[in-house]
Chain A
């Protein structure tokens, strides 16, 4: 995957309407940059569409506070995490037929970390999204979590809604949140071992019984005579 992120924003398109939409996001990014200073590591702006920022772990709480009170991003959308370490099980959970059909062997298992937009350095990244509903803007905030200390400051004091999302994130990725009022299991039974959404947590159902494969692939309309297995 090519590195999609860049520290400078892409050139604005000539389309006047798009530039008008883009103005608020550029201004928002500038204000965030001046407030957070070095805390803002990287950003990615898609004109007229969306904005990503990546902050340091130390600036995580400050970013929330400033977005909420300083910039009017009062709406808490979601919080979750990404595990950037590719699954050690590779593609063996897929049917062999599917793999040969649409997948080139060269990229079977690539163990290197590749990060998405706004970059990253560590295996785990927490990302959250908040909205300014008055101006119709949304921003996704990312933060790197070092492997040797999987913890982060909780956002619950700023956004009450972060409570359950952080519980879910803790349970699924094993990232703890300092200052959270009660990190308990939310979906899984208490005492569950492992963090299911980590890439090295095997999906046992698939490992025991591989996907049947091509029989389930529905052909596109307009293609050949289509008749696919339907689950009744």
Chain B
């Protein structure tokens, strides 16, 4: 064994240091990763331009507009009843819920109130849209971390709800069923029993999803502590729905500001979670679906009789004024700010969609996360592209 001379040792260390310097210089060169516009994690055509340092995101810039349809402009040349056809296509997975705040705002300006039965059926369909919408999320969330089975379960069981919505409205995705002053039609015969059966299936679907994902080591590792949103940041960005409730904010417009829907007559609970991470958002939504099925059951039991349409003029002219109505839609708070000049068409409609605000936090939220987590964070924020682009 020969002892290394001091001189040899020093030259070895110098060579190592030079190597390290080269490596450091290589590392500092960032990389831009373009996710989308067509990527399975983006639910449509959201594009995210992420600047990376190794595996870490240093800046993320969402690019929208690939599906911008200009609904705010189009509403200005459509009569009030025609507008519902458009706004069905904003959040296309829970379409009926889109119509509700618009119709309520128009009714507020017209000082018309829907008959009790119409209000109850509205609430039923509103909650069923939520179930159909969030079921998809529950399946999709598994898919984001590589679990394929939940997605199939979701599509299978969501069908039961869509069938019931179709039985009433005639449309699986675009019901166009809500009218100023009530609803287009009453429920078909035998619908109540069928719907109760569907709700039972959704509840067992929730149990299945819980069994598959919650406690699953991979799922927990990929979602726990990932994408944490503190409550104050979430409020500043205008996050709503399960996204803000998962950050511990106990706020649900269905309970706190009910207008036109009958949630205040039901026995239900607003679920919150303190963690604010991807898992919390998943968990809150899971509980919300369960809560919604219970609500639908109660609504079906207490359904009042009577007409489903109030007396409204055949040609609808909305009196001059301004009104803003928001409801707790599946994706979060959705509101319509209607400015009317007493005409057949609205003068201006500002559509406050939930996903636009929910996604506006991504530049802040994605900073510093690792590339694979982008997918789970976007999945857990849960947006529908039509709800961002409008």
Contacts and interface: CB of A to CB of B under 8 A. Distances in A.
Nearest to A181: B363
Nearest to B186: A221
B65 A160 contact: no
B185 interface: yes
Given A117-B322, A187-B65, A220 B312 contact: yes
A197 B357 contact: no
Q: Report the contact-size class of chain B (Cβ under 8 Å from the partner).
A: 35 or more
B79 A161 contact: no
* Majority secondary structure, A binding face: loop
A231 B176 CA distance: 11
Contacts, number: 125
B184 A161 contact: no
A66 interface: no
20 contacts: A74-B235, A77-B357, A78-B335, A78-B350, A94-B344, A103-B343, A116-B321, A133-B249, A136-B257, A159-B238, A160-B233, A160-B237, A160-B361, A165-B360, A196-B73, A203-B74, A217-B79, A219-B314, A220-B314, A221-B185
Given A161-B357, A196-B73, A206-B77, A78 B238 contact: yes
Given A76-B238, A82-B348, A220-B314, A140 B257 contact: no
Interface of A: 1-2, 4, 50, 52, 74-78, 80, 82-83, 87, 93-94, 98, 101-103, 114, 116-117, 127, 129, 133, 136, 138, 140, 159-161, 163-165, 172, 185-189, 196-197, 203, 206, 211, 216-223, 231
Contact of A1 (B64, B314, B333, B341): B341
A197 B235 contact: no
B350 A80 contact: yes
Contacts of B82: 216
Contacts of A223: 314
A204 to B, nearest CB: 11
B184 A101 contact: no
Given A93-B77, A161-B236, A187-B389, A220 B309 contact: yes
Interface of B: 64-65, 68, 70, 72-74, 76-77, 79, 81-82, 85, 179, 184-185, 232-233, 235-238, 249, 251, 256-257, 308-309, 312, 314-315, 317, 320-324, 326, 333, 335, 337, 339, 341-345, 348, 350, 352, 356-357, 360-361, 364, 389
Nearest to A99: B344
